Chain A
Amino acid sequence: SQQGEEDPQALSIQEGENATMNCSYKTSINNLQWYRQNSGRGLVHLILIRSNEREKHSGRLRVTLDTSKKSSSLLITASRAADTASYFCATPGGSNYKLTFGKGTLLTVNP
């Protein structure tokens, strides 16, 4: 069963704009991760935020975590055409392994 669910399912923006994707999850977690998948490729780990963190930055990426609402957001600033991909949130299951993924947000950045 899906632990995390991303929203929206699809997002289309212009180059230079910011893109925000959200993730909701069901059970308590010790960390939440975001991955990117380019078409026809494997997933690439972007960033991990621990349950005791509220915000984390990595380059143009900003991730927030609200454990009280069981939600996270991924913000990509100043988007580029190369950011076009599917973005997934992932959380460890109850046994702290078994990373489960949502169905992803398909981001299209138009040049």
Chain B
Amino acid sequence: DAGVIQSPRHEVTEMGQEVTLRCKPISGHNSLFWYRQTMMRGLELLIYFNNNVPIDDSGMPEDRFSAKMPNASFSTLKIQPSEPRDSAVYFCASSLEAGGVYGYTFGSGTRLTVV
């Protein structure tokens, strides 16, 4: 298995533009998570999907952020409009089971820079 695949690896965009981050989880994993990592706040959970259904989006910072999982093999995180404070590394992770007793597998992340 190729692991969790995220694209793009790097994204530089201007303030106000729409940004879409993509994730392909490991086949057979029923839990998918989007995290954001910054120096100041560390790793923050944004949203959790179980069997393609959003279960907990309490970590999504604002209405500018939205996430979808149309099928078991694809998820997107969209920011519209983007702001400089959204600059961070965004990680997607998947797991066989939400409680993490099997551990999470992380993608390599998308480094987002909003100028």
Contacts and interface: CB of A to CB of B under 8 A. Distances in A.
A binds B: yes
A40 to B, nearest CB: 8
A93 B108 CA distance: 24
Contacts of A95: 56
Q: Is the interface of B mostly helix, strand, loop or mixed?
A: strand
B100 A99 contact: yes
A90 B43 CA distance: 10
A95 B101 CA distance: 13
Contacts of A45: 103-105
A2 B42 contact: yes
B64 to A, nearest CB: 22
Contacts, number: 59
Given A43-B91, A88-B43, A104-B42, A99 B56 contact: no
Contacts of B43: 43, 88, 100-101
Contact of A98 (B42, B45, B106, B108): B45
Given A33-B103, A42-B4, A42-B107, A102 B42 contact: yes
A9 to B, nearest CB: 11
A97 B99 contact: yes
Q: Which of A99, A100, A103 has the most CB of B within 10 A?
A: A99
Interface size on B, as a range, is: 20 to 34
Interface size on A, as a range, is: 20 to 34
Contacts of B109: 41-42
Contacts of A88: 43
B34 interface: no
B106 A44 contact: yes
Contact of A30 (B42, B50, B99): B99
7 contacts: A2-B42, A33-B103, A42-B93, A48-B103, A97-B99, A99-B104, A101-B42
Given A43-B104, A96-B99, 10 more contacts: A30-B99, A31-B100, A42-B91, A42-B106, A45-B104, A88-B43, A92-B99, A97-B99, A101-B43, A103-B42
Interface of B: 4, 31, 33, 42-43, 45, 48, 50, 55-56, 91, 93, 98-101, 103-109
